[in-house]
Amino acid sequence: MAHRGGERDFQTSARRMGTSLLFQLSVHERELDLVFLDHSYAKPWSAHPDASSARPTRMLFVTPRRQHESTIESDVPIDVETVVSTPVPLYDNQKARSVMNECERHVIFARTDADAPPPPEDWEEHVNRTGWTLAQNKLFNKILKALQSDRLARLANEGACNEPVLRRVAVDKCARRVRQALASVSWDTKLIQWLHTTLVETLSLPMLAAYLDALQTLKGKIPTLIDRMLVSSNTKTGAAGAEALSLLLKRPWDPAVGVLSHNKPSKLPGSPLILIASSGPSSSVFPTSRRHRFWQSQLSCLGKVVPVATHLLPGGSGAGVLQCLEHMVGALRSKVLEIHSHFPHKPIVLIGWNTGALVACHVSVMEYVTAVVCLGFPLLTVDGPRGDVDDPLLDMKTPVLFVIGQNSLQCHPEAMEDFREKIRAENSLVVVGGADDNLRISKAKKKSEGLTQSMVDRCIQDEIVDFLTGVLTRTEGHVGSEPRDQDAEKKKKPRDVARRDLAFEVSERGSRPASPAAKLPASPSGSEDLSSVSSSPTSSPKTKVTTVASSQKSSQIGSTQLLKRHVQRTEAVLTHRQAQAQFAAFLKQNMLVRKALPPGTSSCLFVPISSEQTEEAEKEELRVQLKRHHPSSPLAGSKTCKRPKIKVSLISQGDAAGGPCAPSSGAAPEGECLFACDGAPVFVSRSSASEGGVSASQASSVVSSSASPSALHTLQSRLVAPSSGGSLPGAASASSLLQGLSFSLQDISSKASGLPASPSPGPAPQAASVKLPTPAQSLGAVTTGAGSIVRAVPVATALSSLGATPGGKPTAIHQLLANGGLAKLASSLPGLAQISNQASGLKVPTTITLTLRGQPSRITTLSPVGTGAAPSEEPASQVLPSNSQRLPPAP
């Protein structure tokens, strides 16, 4: 066994060292692999039980420091002849040279008059400057100087072994200078159009080619400005020439592009959801940086990417940094929770840049996620490096990968090592040589090592894949194991590596296994891995496996997990019970925030935490949660982390909500969640069900059981029993139903589209019942989540379509929202009012506030008045003033 294991390790190492693009590209330290290559009995880095959870640092493009030779003086013979052979470029040189000269080859397209002889070599003397204004002269000279520098660089680099990279660097520089020159005249349309025309007419062909190269580069960065510049010439030139030119300008070249596109990274196993934490508040005015967008698309090669954006308060100039940070944490956290409840077994990977990385780490302390990847890490603060004894980050349990730049200002590799020693989570560090906070390498580095940013980015991506593959294919219980298990777990690591790669290779072989069961034989460690497989499901149905897993593990798992398993099982049955279970699963999703209200308020606030997180009150709440979680999470272990949290906050008049709260909290797993129940929610869900059919099949069963309180209770137990083992007291169900409403609303926006990797087919019937006209659009919305406003637009349409039922009749929700209040509803349904009074003994609330997860635009479309201004303003609660973060006393 040991022998076989060693062999596998050897293969692993050999594969990684020999074939990966990463290896070829980078200067790596591979001590770990070398250990494996040594002897079958050689111990890996983590063999010792007390070994820290910090894996050895990996160096990307970090040039090894030259050893200090002290006595070179006369002893060492000096070789003045031998030219140190330069390494073969990492890209396809021939191809790179070909694309590099594209502009030169097609320069003729730019010529306005292709038949006229090109300007002579001494064109400069022939430029007729008479009539030029001072500004024109100045601009022309600036451009000319930039082009001359570029010319020098081209000539000087000619024939160099890494000429394409050097050319790229030079062209970028020239483009920058041209851009500066154009910016110096404020992109004055008339002036820049004149410039373009003049340059095209007068420049010699080589210079014109250089100019086109610069334009091509700029076009990728500032397309509209460049287009504005080209307008006049396009009208002059023939259509064909203009088209060819625009085609040429549309394709900026990259030396490594061929290699990188030929070696695309494969998807991660277990089809995880990749959540990108925003590193600051975003707005439509200042969209996320191009680099981040680029990375987002890169990461989408690995799995489904969901960027989580944080928006500033509307007109929230006064928002403090702390508030903003809390928003970011809250937004990400609620997204995690949402995904947990929608896809209980979907692995979640949090990725963030700098501050976003920090946010991701903090969220990973609070909620269960599979892994965290920090791209850049703000380790150094004004108060010194992070990692003091009271730093909550030290309690991280989630495997984390840090990728930092060698020249980063916010971080230092050595300080990072200290920090890594302190955190308990298994962690890896990748240092990118010569890179800054955003992992961009310097120009000098590009030149000296013949690199491009795209190559470096790919290597970073490979590192991420490497890390995540390892984490994702490990057993589910692994991460959450008790501290005492960690030793054993570490001892297993060498095998994990092998296992990981096997699994990886399986998935790499192209044809994804039809079912995860096919993966099972590949798993070397047998039954203990079953749950791991089930935790990382492929898109295929996984009913069998999960059932096995759940039955095997049932003795150890707590009630929540039991609940989860049951959900799984019911999915497997694929009856309408499945929908019920699904419903139950969604019950867990909603965070209902309990709020202290001034006495006398009789409003009911039902607030699933929105991604906007604009309500101050919620922030308060969150802060409380943060505080509560920090001390508890390390002790409670990952079981608590994994458990989806249900938060219910019901604002009812006075302290009355406190009463019903008690029984329902028993239903909530581990008492994490507070259920408060009130009659009101029942109305909502029922009315929505009966009138609009918005909620799913189980909702229609609600209709059937209409008015009688006992029937309601029966229904509730029927609904909830399968998931909670029948332990739910009836009182809780009312709020569950309320949640159900929120679910159905949210679900329409997200679930209806049916994520391709959705583990359960459950949502489908519900979606069908809603009959979204544009599921594809809402799919886009799901992937971007609450991300950008632009992308949220489809959601808006989807939701607005929700407003009208298939029959064209306004749905209950619509009605509810339009009519502005439950009171009306309640009075219109006397039977229900009766129930509510029976169930809680409370007055019918006058207001219901609905906050929907997601975009402002969604909510505003829901709003009948269409007040688009205030995101997360509750349209239904027109009773409330729009900025009422703290609810005012109800009228």
Partner 1 sequence: SWRRERKPPSGNAKAEPALPSSANQSKAVSEKPNYALKFTLEGHTEAVSSVKFSPNGEWLASSSADKVIIIWGAYDGKYEKTLKGHNLEISDVAWSSDSSRLVSASDDKTLKLWDVRSGKCLKTLKGHSNYVFCCNFNPPSNLIISGSFDESVKIWEVKTGKCLKTLSAHSDPVSAVHFNCSGSLIVSGSYDGVCRIWDAASGQCLKALVDDDNPPVSFVKFSPNGKYILIATLDNTLKLWDYSRGRCLKTYTGHKNEKYCVFASFSVTGGKWIVSGSEDNLVYIWNLQTKEIVQKLQGHTDVVISAACHPTENIIASAALGNDKTVKLWMSTY
Cα distance from N-terminal residue to C-terminal residue, the chain: 75
Instruction: Determine how many CB atoms are found less than 10 A away from the CB of residue 161.
Output: 14
- H/E element, 325: helix 321-342
**Residues 6+ away with beta carbon under 8 Å from 4:** none
Of 148, 232, 632, 878, which lies in the binding site for partner 1, with binding defined by CB under 8 A? 148
Judged on CB neighbours under 10 Å (0-12, 13-18, 19+), 523 is buried
Q: Is 65 a residue that touches partner 1 (CB under 8 A)?
A: no
Helices (H), ranges, 398-553: 413-422, 443-449, 453-472, 476-480, 485-491, 493-508, 530-535, 543-553
Output the DSSP codes for 97-129: HHHHTHHHHTGGGG-SSTTSPPPPTTHHHH---
- Pick between residue 82 and residue 235 the one whose CB is nearest to partner 1: 82
Q: Is 442 a residue that touches partner 1 (CB under 8 A)?
A: no
Q: Which range of residues in 70-78, 292-300, 367-375, 641-649 is near partner 1 by CB under 8 A?
A: 70-78
- Pick between residue 153 and residue 181 the one whose CB is nearest to partner 1: 153
Taking a C-beta distance cutoff of 8 angstroms, is the pair 640, 480 a contact? Answer: no
β-pairing, 304-311 with 847-850? unpaired
- Pick between residue 70 and residue 284 the one whose CB is nearest to partner 1: 70
Q: CA 622 to CA 612: how far, in whole Å?
A: 13
Of 152, 183, 707, 869, which lies in the binding site for partner 1, with binding defined by CB under 8 A? 152
Q: CA 827 to CA 813: how far, in whole Å?
A: 16
Q: Is 511 a residue that touches partner 1 (CB under 8 A)?
A: no
Residues 610-627, buried b or exposed e (16+ Cβ, 10 A)?
bbbbbbbbbbbbbeebbe
Residues of this chain, 767-806, that bind partner 1 according to CB under 8 A: none
Of 35, 143, 166, 591, which lies in the binding site for partner 1, with binding defined by CB under 8 A? 166
- Pick between residue 11 and residue 148 the one whose CB is nearest to partner 1: 148
Q: Is 159 a residue that touches partner 1 (CB under 8 A)?
A: yes
What's the closest the beta carbon of residue 161 comes to partner 1, in angstroms? Answer: 8
Taking a C-beta distance cutoff of 8 angstroms, is the pair 361, 400 a contact? Answer: yes
Of 84, 134, 239, 285, which lies in the binding site for partner 1, with binding defined by CB under 8 A? 84
Residues of this chain, 595-624, that bind partner 1 according to CB under 8 A: none
- Pick between residue 150 and residue 466 the one whose CB is nearest to partner 1: 150
Q: Is 491 a residue that touches partner 1 (CB under 8 A)?
A: no
Residue of 689, 620, 682, 602 lying closest to 888 (CA atoms): 602
Q: Is 74 a residue that touches partner 1 (CB under 8 A)?
A: yes
- Pick between residue 156 and residue 707 the one whose CB is nearest to partner 1: 156
Q: CA 880 to CA 849: how far, in whole Å?
A: 9
- Pick between residue 50 and residue 73 the one whose CB is nearest to partner 1: 73
Q: CA 856 to CA 878: how far, in whole Å?
A: 16
Taking a C-beta distance cutoff of 8 angstroms, is the pair 597, 651 a contact? Answer: yes
**Residues 6+ away with beta carbon under 8 Å from 321:** none
Of 14, 27, 47, 155, which lies in the binding site for partner 1, with binding defined by CB under 8 A? 155
What's the closest the beta carbon of residue 140 comes to partner 1, in angstroms? Answer: 16
Instruction: Determine how many CB atoms are found less than 10 A away from the CB of residue 756.
Output: 10
Q: Which range of residues in 13-21, 147-155, 681-689, 831-839 is near partner 1 by CB under 8 A?
A: 147-155
Residue of 439, 329, 453 lying closest to 374 (CA atoms): 439
What's the closest the beta carbon of residue 205 comes to partner 1, in angstroms? Answer: 11
What's the closest the beta carbon of residue 266 comes to partner 1, in angstroms? Answer: 38
Q: Is 170 a residue that touches partner 1 (CB under 8 A)?
A: yes
What's the closest the beta carbon of residue 202 comes to partner 1, in angstroms? Answer: 14
Q: Is 157 a residue that touches partner 1 (CB under 8 A)?
A: yes
What's the closest the beta carbon of residue 214 comes to partner 1, in angstroms? Answer: 16
What's the closest the beta carbon of residue 70 comes to partner 1, in angstroms? Answer: 11
Q: Is 158 a residue that touches partner 1 (CB under 8 A)?
A: yes
Q: Is 143 a residue that touches partner 1 (CB under 8 A)?
A: no
Q: Which range of residues in 145-153, 183-191, 247-255, 594-602 is near partner 1 by CB under 8 A?
A: 145-153
What's the closest the beta carbon of residue 171 comes to partner 1, in angstroms? Answer: 12
Q: CA 711 to CA 719: how far, in whole Å?
A: 12
Residues 345-355, buried b or exposed e (16+ Cβ, 10 A)?
bbbbbbbbbbb
- Name the DSSP letter for residue 637: H
Of 1, 2, 18, 79, which lies in the binding site for partner 1, with binding defined by CB under 8 A? 79
Q: Which range of residues in 79-87, 234-242, 769-777, 780-788 is near partner 1 by CB under 8 A?
A: 79-87
Of 18, 64, 77, 117, which lies in the binding site for partner 1, with binding defined by CB under 8 A? 77
- Pick between residue 63 and residue 708 the one whose CB is nearest to partner 1: 63
Q: Which range of residues in 150-158, 303-311, 593-601, 639-647 is near partner 1 by CB under 8 A?
A: 150-158
Q: What sign for the dihedral angle of Cα 26, 30, 33, 34? A: positive
Q: Is 81 a residue that touches partner 1 (CB under 8 A)?
A: yes
Q: Which range of residues in 8-16, 18-26, 80-88, 396-404 is near partner 1 by CB under 8 A?
A: 80-88
Q: CA 97 to CA 89: how far, in whole Å?
A: 12
Q: Is 71 a residue that touches partner 1 (CB under 8 A)?
A: no
Q: Which range of residues in 4-12, 56-64, 71-79, 294-302 is near partner 1 by CB under 8 A?
A: 71-79
**Biggest alpha carbon–alpha carbon distance for the chain:** 105
Q: CA 173 to CA 181: how far, in whole Å?
A: 12
What's the closest the beta carbon of residue 64 comes to partner 1, in angstroms? Answer: 15
Please give the size of the binding site for partner 1, defined by CB under 8 A: 29
Of 3, 41, 67, 72, which lies in the binding site for partner 1, with binding defined by CB under 8 A? 72
What's the closest the beta carbon of residue 186 comes to partner 1, in angstroms? Answer: 28
Output the DSSP codes for 574-614: TSHHHHHHHHHHHHHH-BPPP----TT--EEEE-PPPSS--
Of 41, 50, 67, 73, which lies in the binding site for partner 1, with binding defined by CB under 8 A? 73
- Pick between residue 160 and residue 703 the one whose CB is nearest to partner 1: 160
Question: Phi and psi for 806 in degrees, rounded to 5?
Answer: -50, -35
- Pick between residue 80 and residue 635 the one whose CB is nearest to partner 1: 80
Judged on CB neighbours under 10 Å (0-12, 13-18, 19+), 679 is buried
β-pairing, 380-381 with 384-385? antiparallel
Q: CA 884 to CA 347: how far, in whole Å?
A: 37
Q: Which range of residues in 153-161, 263-271, 368-376, 729-737 is near partner 1 by CB under 8 A?
A: 153-161
Of 1, 2, 80, 240, which lies in the binding site for partner 1, with binding defined by CB under 8 A? 80
Q: Which range of residues in 72-80, 194-202, 260-268, 458-466 is near partner 1 by CB under 8 A?
A: 72-80
Residues of this chain, 713-772, that bind partner 1 according to CB under 8 A: none
- Which pair of tokens denotes residue 791? 């992308």
Instruction: Determine how many CB atoms are found less than 10 A away from the CB of residue 203.
Output: 25
What's the closest the beta carbon of residue 177 comes to partner 1, in angstroms? Answer: 12
Residues of this chain, 111-140, that bind partner 1 according to CB under 8 A: 121-122, 124
Of 83, 239, 321, 635, which lies in the binding site for partner 1, with binding defined by CB under 8 A? 83
Judged on CB neighbours under 10 Å (0-12, 13-18, 19+), 410 is middle
Residues of this chain, 201-260, that bind partner 1 according to CB under 8 A: 204
Q: What sign for the dihedral angle of Cα 128, 129, 130, 136? A: positive
Q: Which range of residues in 6-14, 157-165, 456-464, 669-677 is near partner 1 by CB under 8 A?
A: 157-165
Residue of 254, 169, 805, 56 lying closest to 448 (CA atoms): 169
Please give the residue ranges that form the binding site for partner 1 (CB under 8 A): 72-74, 77-84, 121-122, 124, 148-149, 151-153, 155-160, 166, 170, 173, 204
